Amino acid sequence: MTLERGMSLTELLKEKELRNELILKFRKNSTLSLKELGSLFGGLSESSICKILNTACEK
């Protein structure tokens, strides 16, 4: 997905809305834990991942 948009991983992590969409997709389509998702997305805490997922579900 980042290649399609011509973005590097660093740029992706700065684009919070896109990053959050990807976190939600990864959570729905994988068995990764909150900790693993946080590590994958630049070292976010489990709490941060949980907040992102809760906010995305409210939309």
Work out the pLDDT band at 4, boundaries 50, 70, 90.
low
Q: Which amino acid is at 34?
A: L
pTM of the prediction?
Answer: 0.80
Residue bearing the bigger pLDDT, 11 or 5 = 11
Work out the pLDDT band at 9, boundaries 50, 70, 90.
confident
The residue range of the domain holding 19 is 2-58
Q: Which amino acid is at 3?
A: L
Measure Cα distances from 51 to 37, 41, 54 in Å.
13, 14, 5
Q: Which of 46, 59, 57, 53 is nearest to 20 (CA)?
A: 53
Q: Per mean pLDDT, which range of 8-12, 21-25, 50-54 is the poorest?
A: 8-12
How confident is the model over 4-30, as a mean pLDDT? 86
Our count of domains for the chain comes to 1
The distance from CA 44 to its chain's CA centroid, rounded to whole angstroms, is 9
